[in-house]
Each structure stands twice: as C-alpha cells, then as structure tokens.
Amino acid sequence: MKIFEKSFTQQEPIPEAGIQAACEVMRSGRLHRYNLVEGECGEANLLEKEFSNYLGLPYVLACASCGYALHIALKAAGIQSGDIVLTNAFTLAPVPGAIHNSGGVPELIELTEDYLIDLEHLEQSVQRTKARFFLLSHMRGHIVNMEQVESLCQKYNLYLIEDCAHTMGAQWNGRKSGTFGQISCFSTQTYKHINSGEGGLLATKDPEVMAKLILYSGSYMLFETHTLAPDPEVFAAIRYNIPNYSGRMDQLRAAILRPQLAALDEQVARWNALYCCVAEGLQKSSKIIFPNRPPEEKFVGSSIQFSLPDFSEQQIRQVLVRCKERGVVLKWFGDSVPRGFTSRYDSWHYLDSLPELLRTKKVLAKLLDMRIPLTFLREDCLLLSEIIVDVVENL
Ligand SMILES: *Cc1c(COP(=O)(O)O)cnc(C)c1O
C-alpha cells in the first residue's frame, strides 16, 4: 500500500535575500518601523510601497496580522457598536472574531454549491437588516462574481471590505483581488501566500481611511514617516479622535516579505501547476466533485477543495481517517467539532444569535480541503491524489 510521507505544513525556506535583509535589520538593532535614521526609508515602508505598486492602489499599511487588519478596517470604515456586518458563514474564525472585536454583529450569509457566498441570500439579508457593511471573505481562494458584488454594493450603499487572506496574487476578470473593496486585507501568516510567521497588509484608495488606519495601528504621531501617508491635513482633522490600537509590523518581518512579494506571481504559477496535477488525479474518481470555477476567476491553488456528495457523515470521517493513515491530511469544514484551523459557523457561540443555515451545513457536510505547500513536487501530487482516489473508491 502506497504511503505519502511529506508534511502538509512544511513551507519553503525564506529566500536567501530575505534572510540577508533580516540579518541586516538585526545587526542595525533598529527593528521598530519608526526607528529610522536620517534619510532612511526602512523595510516596512519599502514593503508597503512595493505592495502598493503590485496592487495599483495608492495606500498600503503593514500590520500585525490579517485578523488585526480586518478589525481596524472595520473601525476605519466607521462601524459603531451594534452595527450589522454581512459576512460569509463559511470563513475562518478570525473573520467573525474581527467583527466582534470591532463591536459589530456578524450577519452570516449562506454558501452555494460552488463554495461561494450566496449573493441572493446576501441581497435578502441586506434588505431585511439594512446593513451598511459587507466583509467579503474570499474563503479558500474561491472568488464570487465581483461585478455582481460591486453592483449590489452600489445598489444598497454597502461598504465593502475584502478579506484576501487566500487571494493574494489572484484576479477576477483581469483585476487583482483586493482592488474591488474600499479596504482590502491580506495575511502574511505562515500558511498564506507570503510568509513572515505572522503579519497583515491593508490596502485602500481612500486617504482619510488610510490616515485612520495608520493612527489605529499605533503610529505614536509619527505618521509623517510613512512613505505612503496622505497629506498632513488629513491627519490634522482626526488625530485626536483615533485611539492607538498598537498593531504595527516590524522591519524584520517586512524584510523577510519583500523578496517573497517580488516572487509572488512566479509562486502563484507553481501553486497552480500543482493544483492542476492534484485536480487531474482526483478526477479519476467520479465520486469526487469539483465546484464550477468561471474563466474570470484566476485563483491561487495553494489549497484544493472538493466534495463527496454521496458520502454520509460517517463515510467522510472514514475517508479522513484512512487518508491520514496513508499520510494524506485532509480537513473537513463540515465537522460539528472545531479542529485545527477549521470551525463551522455554529461553533462561534459568542455570537448573539446563530442562524440555522441549512444550505451552508449541507455543502460543508460534503466538502473536503487539502493544503498544497510549495515543498510538494509534481510526483507528490500524483501520489497523494492516487491515495485519495484509492480510499474514496474502496471505502
Ligand atoms: C488566515 C485567515 C485570516 C486571518 O489571518 P491572520 O493573519 O492569521 O490573522 C482571515 N481570513 C481568512 C480567510 C484566513 O484564512
């Protein structure tokens, strides 16, 4: 019986250029982003500039994590305690966590068979709740029709914040993910597309929002040292009204990230080659079903999702166990018990009301998920898909 031996959580090393830049920062002793000598730009500023060029947006702020970024994005968007925030029922726990942290109340939206937020349910929910905020999580890299999102946001005057933790480097219809929302948030946590252990990035076009984000992130009034800061007058109007929620990114993490950002598009191509290899392998079983992914969606295949529609809950559990025995680690977002990084929405008991979202539960009950780290080779992808097909076909 074939066994898979590689680790699903093994990342590639930090590029040599990043290690060297990190060593330079450490030698300098000046790790804090505001500890700059005369005329020095600093790694955090450079990273922000480079990501702003990458996205084609004027303002970028580096911060402590994507969850933190979502929190201050909601604050900068003007959320008040008790305001409703529409968001995906299928997302990662830091998303409802950030809404809760900002004083907002998540209104969870159903999931479609194609693993996307259900825009019909979204429209019904905005009509019913009169919500003004929409935190759209591109969960597991699946991108919903963004023209439809834009027109819904216009129609109902919804403030759109994008959670791009899984779509850094992805596009919808030729536009980069993260350029649709008024604010977009990215993660540089180890399991995302660039890796600094922990870290986040925010992007916006709006100078007033950018000024607020800088102040919230804990600028100690040193905002003028930001290369991408808006004019001082923008700060003058608000500087006494924004609390310091201390969550900056340091120079060390920024130094590690810059060479990775420069290589992002190449890495995306590598991920997608591996994704295609796994997907082709899994298609050998007619029991394994993939979602429809329209041609407008240029996703990043850093993980793969598929469904086993004819399998019972008990059979899904068996698939997980048998794959694990053979070294293949699958995750199941349908599990009633939150495990590892997965949690179903009804495990967030701190929410005031937990709706019964039957469609979401039905889709999640059959949905399996697997990471594809870049340390895997083509032959690894062939082997692991062969194992999954073998388990599924012979259960
Ligand atoms: C990882 C993740 C986050 C949070 O990112 P952190 O940097 O770990 O805070 C938010 N949303 C989604 C969909 C994620 O996968």
* Interatomic CA distance for residues 149 and 136, integer angstroms: 9
163 lines ligand 1 (CB under 6 A): yes
Tell which one of 65, 66, 198, 333 to mutate to probe ligand 1, the residue whose CB is within 8 A of the most ligand atoms.
66
Whether the full predicted model's pTM is greater than 0.95, yes or no, is: yes
* Interatomic CA distance for residues 19 and 17, integer angstroms: 5
Query: Residue 40 C-alpha to ligand 1 middle, in angstroms?
Result: 31
Percent of the chain scoring above 90 in pLDDT: 95
94 lines ligand 1 (CB under 6 A): yes
pLDDT at 353: 83
pLDDT at 354: 87
Q: Is the pLDDT of residue 216 over 90?
A: yes
- Paired tokens of 349: 């008991």
- Average pLDDT for 222-243: 96
- Paired tokens of 140: 């597991």
Query: Residue 175 C-alpha to ligand 1 middle, in angstroms?
Result: 22
Cα 108–110–116 angle (5° rounding)?
115
pLDDT at 340: 81
139 lines ligand 1 (CB under 6 A): yes
* pLDDT band at residue 338 under the 50/70/90 scheme: confident
- Average pLDDT for 230-238: 96
Given a contact cutoff of 8 angstroms between Cβ atoms, the answer to whether 69 and 201 are in contact is: yes
217 lines ligand 1 (CB under 6 A): no
79 lines ligand 1 (CB under 6 A): no
- Average pLDDT for 241-263: 98
Give the tens place of pLDDT for each residue, 300-326: 999 999 999 999 999 999 999 999 999
pLDDT at 259: 98
Give the tens place of pLDDT for each residue, 50-87: 999 999 999 999 999 999 999 999 999 999 999 999 99
189 lines ligand 1 (CB under 6 A): yes
- 352-382: b (≥16 Cβ within 10 Å) or e: eeeeebeebbebbbbbbbbbbbeebeeebbe
Give the tens place of pLDDT for each residue, 166-208: 999 999 999 999 999 999 999 999 999 999 999 999 999 999 9
Tell which one of 142, 163, 187 to mutate to probe ligand 1, the residue whose CB is within 8 A of the most ligand atoms.
187
